[in-house]
Homo-oligomer: A and B are copies of this chain.
Amino acid sequence: MPKLDPDRLFPSEPRRRDIARDLFAAIEGRPILSPHGHCDPSWFSENAAFPDPAQLFVVPDHYIFRMLVSQGGGLADLGISRRDGGPVETDPRAIWRRFAAHYYLFRGTPTRLWIDHALEHVFGVDDPLGPDTADAIYDHVAACLERPEFRPRALFDRFNIELLATTDSALDTLDHHDRIGDAGLKGRVIPTYRPDAALDPEIEGFAENIAELGRITDCDTASWAGYLEAHRRRRAYFRKRGATATDHGHPSARTEAFDTATAERLFHTCLSGQATAEQADAFRGQMLTEMARMSVEDGMTMQLHVGSFRNHSGPVMRDFGRDKGFDIPIRTEFVHALKPMLDEVGQEPGLEIILFTLDETTFSRELAPLAGAYPALRLGPPWWFFDSPEGIMRYRQLTGETAGIYNTAGFNDDTRAFCSIPARHDVSRRVDCSWLAGLVADGRIGLDEAHEMAGELTTDLVKKAYKI
């Protein structure tokens, strides 16, 4: 008996369920477009075997270790490196056992769906994961990982990925991307221009990064004009390697549109390391507008991921460093924040700015009304904690009536957990079909329209939003 219910995430009322089944059957087989995520390009350029089940599933997945930590598990016991080089668990089987023993904690969470789906569909595991099955499943998955058909390239093809975008520092050489061309993948792996390290004055090494950006672009990044030109050249470098989008992870959605002299002064203040928090924030805001202007020139789609309080726990940051599950969403404002940029570029018909939020209250109040008016704006799919059955359904219910679906951008899996990619797209497609089934059953749209919309949500809108 399969662990996964074939009707999972469909409405249980029979009429709605039948419509959802019908819609899903028609799009289930479409290839995966993954226009934003955090896979490591070296997986595909090197094609090395994934080391072991713990390294594949547990150690890199902040959803998993944050939950175990919340119930008293230690990061070190899960194999997370300490900054002081102190001892951490190195036995992957011990890590896996801890995970399995606490797998019940994930009941009702999307992680549970993703892991179950990956174990069953990728590795053919039939038994439910738990303390009693931990060793057997570990052995089974470990054995799989040694076989060629579980190498990254083989999985990429098996997952039916047509396109996968990685997220890459502006300073990255993109060597791995260059080499992926020879990998013989059925689909494409493309980079995304993420310039935060050479754009956000509060990121460590800002000045050094800007100097490095100057070296690799042959621009004088000590000047404002040269700095902007360096970004232009680097964007072109990324575009040549297939990139169609930039990505910006900022604390807030603040944008600015200062005159050149003010922007230039602000740049020099930030470069000097003397910027106040306010000045750093203003500079980030100015740079979003600059990036948008460059997008008008070069056609790159612009992604804005805002509203996370990163590394909230002082002790965890001190002992284990960044990205250890202590990033917490904060209240976010878009209406005032985006106005300076939108007054500059908001009416540009060819521009695509995709907005992501961790504050669901902004969906119906701010984001759907903005995206439902400004030609340049689209709503990104529910992000991070909200990439879940309830989260996706709320998103559609909160945005669909004001922005429709044609001002949205399809789905992003946004993951570094490679084996969860099919699972995440499966969840998204099912919930979207369930939502559409509700519209049909409500008499709000026809079934033929729902079929068109399901196709748009699954692949067509992604292609439009990311120009792929």
Interface residues of A (CB under 8 A from B): 4-5, 7-10, 12-13, 15-16, 66-67, 69-72, 104-110, 112-113, 128, 309, 312-316, 325-331, 333, 335-336, 339, 342-343, 346-347, 349, 358-361, 364-366, 368-375, 377, 385-386, 388-391, 397-398, 400-407, 439, 441-446, 449, 452-453
Contact = CB atoms under 8 A, between A and B. Distances in A.
A70 B329 contact: no
Contact of A390 (B10, B329, B397, B406): B397
A313 B343 contact: yes
A346 B314 CA distance: 10
A443 B12 CA distance: 10
B366 A316 contact: no
A282 to B, nearest CB: 19
Contacts of A109: 400-402, 404
A365 B330 contact: yes
Contacts of A106: 404
B349 A360 contact: no
Contact of A335 (B70, B312, B342, B366): B312
Contact of A365 (B335, B358, B374, B400): B358
A112 B445 contact: yes
Given A343-B315, A375-B72, A329 B369 contact: yes
Which of the listed residues A8, A104, A108, A112 has the most CB atoms from chain B within 10 Å of its own CB? Answer: A108
B15 A15 contact: no
B108 A443 contact: no
Nearest to A349: B72
Contact of A12 (B16, B391, B397): B16
A372 B404 contact: no
A386 B369 CA distance: 11
A12 B397 CA distance: 17
A197 B178 CA distance: 63
Which of the listed residues A8, A328, A386 has the most CB atoms from chain B within 10 Å of its own CB? Answer: A328
Listed from nearest, the 7 A-B pairs whose CB atoms lie closest are A8-B443, A5-B443, A314-B343, A72-B349, A388-B401, A108-B400, A12-B441
B331 A365 contact: yes
A329 B5 contact: no
Contacts of A113: 444
Contact of A373 (B69, B343, B404): B69
User: How many copies, total?
Assistant: 3
A70 B359 CA distance: 23
A431 to B, nearest CB: 10
Contacts of A374: 70, 313, 326
Contacts of A15: 12
Contact of A328 (B328, B329, B335, B389): B335
A224 B102 CA distance: 43
Contacts of A69: 373, 375
Nearest to A62: B373
A368 B8 CA distance: 24
A105 B404 contact: yes
B439 A108 contact: yes
Given A360-B364, A444-B112, A70 B107 contact: no
Which of the listed residues A326, A368, A388, A390 has the most CB atoms from chain B within 10 Å of its own CB? Answer: A390
A339 B113 CA distance: 31
Contacts of A110: 401
Contact of A71 (B128, B312, B366, B407): B407
B361 A453 contact: no
B333 A331 contact: yes
B444 A404 contact: no
A404 B108 contact: yes
Nearest to A19: B12
A347 B319 CA distance: 12
A354 to B, nearest CB: 14
A360 B401 CA distance: 14
Nearest to A12: B441
A442 B411 CA distance: 21
Contacts of A313: 342-343, 346-347, 373-374
A62 to B, nearest CB: 9
Contacts of A105: 404, 406
Contacts of A70: 371-375, 377, 403, 407
Contacts of A406: 71, 104-105
